[in-house]
Structure 1
Amino acid sequence: MKVVAVVGSIRRGNTLKMVQASCSKFLPEEIDIIDLGKIQIDFCTGCLYCDETQKCNIDDDLSKLMDKIAEADAYIFATPVRWSLLSGEMKTFFDRLNPFATVGTLNGKKCILLTVGQSEKESEDAFSIDLGLKSMEFFCENAGIDVIDEVKAYGCLAENDITNSSYLEKCYKAAEKLRNTLL
């Protein structure tokens, strides 16, 4: 079993902690972590080269990780949510997976989705976190990836807000569900 976990935040805070909690349900050799804040990832240029060749013509750090992504059985996608949107790093990552969409490489793979934001759960702007998650759901649906579980963390602004909440336990449970679908 091979799982690729993608940290869609350049900060070393709540999103990373959610991924680390989820990854703890897997053996180290089963997990590859792609930390988008630590790699050079260029924007998709919309050149459509990948539609013709099933390869991206951009040569950056992400291009060197594409085989790992293609060979994975499952994914953990995690992003902070701002203004009802997933992070720019995660959006760029999803855009760059277009070469896989042209040949169905991601069809039938499994994932869990993790989102975190500063809005309080009962606040009038809590929908912001829901909409960020919805964006990731749409990506997965279009790519043919089955979403096994989701965790939405509310009220997390400071770097360690998630540590004193129930959200990390939800990450453990979501990862356990993912693991069980792969066994």
Structure 2
Amino acid sequence: MRDIFLCFLVEENFNNWFTVANIVLTAGSNRALEVFDLNAGCSTAVIQEAHVRSVHQICQNKGSSFSTQQPEAYNFFLTTAAGDGIKLWDLRTLRCERRFEGHSSRCYPCGIAVSPCGRFIASGSDDKYAYIYEMRSSTFLQKLGRHTESVINVSFNPSSPQVSHCFFSSFQHVLMSLDTNSQTLCSFHKPVLFC
């Protein structure tokens, strides 16, 4: 039986040991992650058994033209699999640096996103909340909203501190503002119908 692979083309360049490489990250039904270097035209690394189930999303830190990050921040990417939480990987060492747990993702493949500043991770959840994690902490920082259905996808606004999350029949905009002194999030909910 052949393994089924998901392919994720990296839109930005990773700064890998001070060389710029065009990278493609793939995840297979065999639970492995594979890194392809498009400049060399070959596979450069395989991470066996990245999760206990097949990876359903790979998310890179893309940054934003509205915020700056250290070049090393672009060496990290996230993976998620139903029932196995979120893992933060370092492309330089090919090791899992951190696990993010607390949200529920058993029934649906809930999406993840990295904030434009690279400090936060948003995740959907089966328990009808969207979760916000700080990149340096393994536990969630805040749960957003109590929705009527599972939150299946999340995304950040690239130019302002906003995160959107969606579920099967509606769409929710959440405005987040971060107090950098106290590291707390405030949220404002404004429902909008999904068309």
Q: TM-score normalised to the size of structure 1? A: 0.26
**Greater strand proportion:** 2
Larger helix proportion of the pair: 1
The structure whose Rg is larger is: 2
- More contact order relative to length (CA 8 Å, sep ≥ 6): 1
